[in-house]
Structure 1
């Protein structure tokens, strides 16, 4: 039996490995995350599953400011909260991120 550490931070790569406004898939502890670096350098980690009823990946979305436009349904998602913006509704699970010495760490 394996146990997962709750809230433990795991290395996800260096800051330079995350290109601005382009998503990247990172797998940590059996979780598939979509990681984004905004044009101001902030890094966000989200569940890589679209909350739309038909689902789909989020890592292929387009980042503008602190919003992600999902690639299949053009839903606008706030990267700071994971909240899908009106007129659509939904919530994307977001993960805590910290950067130390150019290393990106994500808590799952």
Structure 2
């Protein structure tokens, strides 16, 4: 895989996110309370809300627009809602974070 550096763990607030702009679109990189790191597309499958601005709880994020809850592990909507966003592989080397952009590109095709 072609891993692209996106910064460090400390760049992302605990229970927060940051948005990374890539040639394939925006991705949201999340840090949980337990310092787990996840990356998903930065738009809710419902109405396209910016998931990077949502509230992180456990291994999920709540969309700021209509409160859909999206699993950070699977990208799938939880509860009664249906839909999904793509997940992007993340690699952690010490404090440094990398994402596999070709995984995003191949899924977008």
Q: TM-score if structure 2 supplies the norm length?
A: 0.87
Alpha-carbon RMSD: 1.1
Q: Distance in 2 between matches of 1:102 and 1:59?
A: 20
Q: How many residues align?
A: 101
Larger Rg, first or second structure (1 or 2): 1
Per-residue CA deviation, residues 41-90 of structure 1 (Å, 9 max, x unaligned), is 011111011100x3221110000010111111111111110110121000
Moved segments of 4+, more than 6 Å: none
Q: Distance in 2 between matches of 1:19 and 1:70?
A: 17
Structure 2 SS opposite 1:86 = coil
Contact 1:61 1:71 in 2 (8 A): yes
Q: TM-score if structure 1 supplies the norm length?
A: 0.88
Unaligned 5+ residue runs, structure 1?
A: 1-6
Question: 1:29 is matched with which residue?
Answer: 23
